[in-house]
Structure 1
């Protein structure tokens, strides 16, 4: 059966991404050494591929704010190729992000009108249309942009789940706002505290819900025409005994059922998020100015309250949150303050100039943004990682060789990952460098492998275990010497697994500036 899908120039020519290892730079770690939060510097497609083996199915919430496609970003292309290039940038990232999501996980994508429609159809394909949750409208401005024909007042948050039904059962409701809580009062001094009341009628006719109610003041009510009471009479009488009905000050009004503030389990999220509730562009700029000053401003931040709303709905304390377009570090900062674990990826110098100092400040107890609302003090920490260089390069004779930037430990880890093994050197068995889920092991050596050495290993290898040995050279015939041992040559055995020597899959797409000069003047005052 043919399915509906979005087609563009270059679709299907997806890159074979090298699953590189991550190099821990302990000199940039900060805070609690036991913390497992990760700040990663590197191309985000390569970094996502690096995470795939360990984190598939473990991420509860992904929030990304990818580059918005604009004419200024593609001034050398015609419109058709412009959209195609942008979609080719996003698709492979979405596919890996989907694999990283847990079954109850969700992805939230900030996007504007330039690509929202295209992105929606693409996400229907990647995540399946049945897992589409909502297109949330965020009111990003406080006043119209006078330069526009019709001023754009909003951006979107496209929301998809790994599995819609599982997400529905696990997502959180929102707490009542102060304005909503103020609608509760206690005019009858009910011992259960403040309450609000709701109509006790329902649409339709149900014979067992058609009875007469006599109020405490003696008034008599039957359901209005075309309606019935919301519950059968025994349920009504039980709740009446509990004092859960309001009949007006004189006891003669139409019955209304009470809902108590103390029993309220939250508000179901809806798709309109006003700037009063979750912040706006100018608020985000002020937060960045307060942290970095005017000389180190990030162009397109999001307000912390916006990310707080996302994480409140889609995650709980201790859950893993991922942002692979980290920018100025807002998602990681908010996740940290909300006691979530996090992984943030940023390619550019923003990782050093914005993310790193901002997250250090959060650990130290920075009090901007949502800090006071969530009662953030200080604590936690994170580890810093760089992407390893490409494993295979070309020598002066045009032949593929292992990069001289790899030491023995890095080589073992990289070859293990390329072959689908988790790097886990055994402290007692020297030839067990990693293992896979099917009780197979890998041994990577930079030395020539002899038949005698292989025989020694085979004597210690149980028949029910399998072993892959990777070596630059070995005696003839070793590949078939034992049924449960596979001997392969490096680098030849991994050449076809992916493309090497690609360090940047970024197309240098830039976001448009969100504030004009007049708005900047308002922010700085």
Structure 2
């Protein structure tokens, strides 16, 4: 039985456990005086989490370190004065879609999404740069001179090589001192920000090859906590046996899986394949349906389970082979025979086996850690798949749709949000749409992609695509149209009003193949907007009367307000004219723009009549430009009018 503790709570350990939940990267191991290892808090890292300045600490401890790590952590925590600007002309179904395509540096995008999607994303999939020797596209200003590096780490690189070749120093090759460090510094802040977005039961899948698998595991252990590691899946990416290596030909990639809190993560099983179902037959026309036979023997001799079993059809008796026994005792076997659960073959002359019915087994299979190309596709297949979608051009290193579809099926439920912040050619978006079309789900996807220029020698550039982001957006358009066509074609053979016809019709109505394009850009506000009063001169005050940049639209302002207030960026937006002024309503409640999540008006000359009319709509939030009001009285009165007519409304100005 359990014993009473007979001592007060260990508050120190409770505090450590709380800190570990908030900052798993700050957990470390230290040696005690007696030589044992115990968990502790890395106070240098904890101070860094709570400080805008870098801190130093000489104490040795178990941790992953590299030149630039502290700068990377500071970068993750540093605020940015940027926003997301809507781009209707590049979007699909802008008004109705719940999917987002964010174009810009994913570090900026992840920071901008912190308020709105904090703890709301169920699944993240990323396929980051594999660090194969090319320069990184993501320029986070982690570069340093050779002299700076030598001061930090001596005259050798991470692999112990001398650092003398100036030409090699300029390349991100294994001869360069920051070969691994730059990759880690690129990944570290992005993973930290991504973790914040995950739900408590959220999960992240990360594709990687052998070049950085070891470092990815270690940095992910630090960010997510080693105890939240779930699996390292091996994907067989090649079907060819042709050797392309001096030593051993590489035919796989890794997909590393971590949970935000692994004890709360539930991964869905995989549906049984036709091959798996084909073993279930019904040769004796059993009324309980299809079944398969299973071994009735155990590989050890137990006296109580060694006895003859008689075939009811032929009276032939069967004994277990030497050294084995039946799986059950005599009473249980007799019960199974009377219930027609023992199979002796069609003629009744075969060794008895146990009947297992399809209706009694789980409909889903637990995923395993090896995924063959036969099940989820391979790299060459993915290239051809994308080439067919684009009517010819072949693009570099996409992932198979089936691979991403399986990941989405395992990691997310039908109504969840899926994020991919290394979107590339948008395979994950394609997979989410395809999966929704198959099971009628309404999973939402958020894609983030840098407008990385296409190589001028590439098929994509020759086909007219200047950036990877352009390829991604066009892929979603084409894939969405194709998926709709395929669903519509299924209707042709179904009788209108039939169950199948209604099912397909419902899937078409539910299917969201659109996306709302948002582009990372500088803030809509002028620089003076962010200055403290003591930083502003009289001349600056005159210039600050107009605090909005001249090239920004009211809809630009609306999305910056939505970001700042944490309003879902995919909510429906409508417009209405009130007292002659255009008002944006985000997520109208009843079709009359009442009880909307947000009402925004950025026009000038707002007076009391406008404020009264808008307050009667009872929005949850209302925002205006500071300079929008007709006079100071109208600006003061708006708050009082809302307090009287809509007291629950939160009123703000920009």
Is the structural similarity TM-score above 0.5? yes
Provide the rounded CA distance (Å) in 2 between the counterparts of 1:455 and 1:306.
58
Q: Secondary structure at the match of 2:413?
A: coil
Provide the rounded CA distance (Å) in 2 between the counterparts of 1:408 and 1:289.
40
1:24–1:383 CA contact under 8 A, matched in 2: no
> Map of 1:260-275 to 2, 5 A cutoff?
260-264=357-361, 265-275=363-373
Q: Which structure 1 segments of 5+ residues have no match?
A: 434-438, 472-525
Q: Structure 1 residue 214 and structure 2 residue 331: aligned?
A: no
> Map of 1:13-28 to 2, 5 A cutoff?
13=71, 14=73, 15=75, 16-18=78-80, 20-28=82-90
Q: Which structure 2 segments of 5+ residues have no match?
A: 1-38, 42-61, 137-167, 437-442, 452-465, 491-503, 529-534, 569-596, 602-609
Q: Shift of residue 90 of structure 1?
A: 1.2
1:328–1:350 CA contact under 8 A, matched in 2: no
Change (3 A) 1:425 1:288: same
Corresponding residue for 1:479? none
> Map of 1:102-501 to 2, 5 A cutoff?
102-141=199-238, 142-168=240-266, 171-201=267-297, 210=305, 212=307, 214-216=309-311, 217=315, 219=317, 221=319, 229=327, 239-249=336-346, 251=348, 254-264=351-361, 265-294=363-392, 296-339=393-436, 340-348=443-451, 349-350=466-467, 352-366=469-483, 380-391=512-523, 404=549, 405-406=551-552, 410-411=556-557, 414=560, 417-418=563-564, 424-425=598-599, 445-446=626-627, 456=637
Pairwise CA RMSD of aligned residues?
4.3
Provide the rounded CA distance (Å) in 2 between the counterparts of 1:421 and 1:318.
18
Corresponding residue for 1:518? none
- Cα distance per residue 1:452-493 (max 9 Å; x no partner): 77865675686998989667xxxxxxxxxxxxxxxxxxxxxx
More relative contact order, 1 or 2 (CA 8 Å, 6+ apart): 1
* More moved, 400-409 vs 245-254: 400-409
- Cα distance per residue 1:182-205 (max 9 Å; x no partner): 333333333334322222355789
Provide the rounded CA distance (Å) in 1 between the counterparts of 2:555 and 2:470.
30
- Cα distance per residue 1:111-153 (max 9 Å; x no partner): 0000111101111121222221111111111223334421111
Change (3 A) 1:329 1:227: same
Provide the rounded CA distance (Å) in 2 between the counterparts of 1:71 and 1:124.
25
Q: Secondary structure at the match of 2:599?
A: coil
Provide the rounded CA distance (Å) in 2 between the counterparts of 1:411 and 1:201.
72
Q: Secondary structure at the match of 1:338?
A: helix
Q: Shift of residue 158 of structure 1?
A: 0.6
Q: Structure 1 residue 87 and structure 2 residue 184: aligned?
A: yes
2:639–2:651 CA contact under 8 A, matched in 1: no
Provide the rounded CA distance (Å) in 1 between the counterparts of 2:233 and 2:428.
18
Provide the rounded CA distance (Å) in 1 between the counterparts of 2:263 and 2:332.
31
Q: Secondary structure at the match of 2:280?
A: coil
Corresponding residue for 1:520? none
In the comparison of the two structures, how many residue pairs are matched? 459
Of the candidates 57, 63, 87, which is equivalent to residue 5 of structure 1?
Answer: 63
Provide the rounded CA distance (Å) in 2 between the counterparts of 1:276 and 1:407.
50
Q: TM-score, normalised by structure 1?
A: 0.73
- Bigger radius of gyration among the two: 2
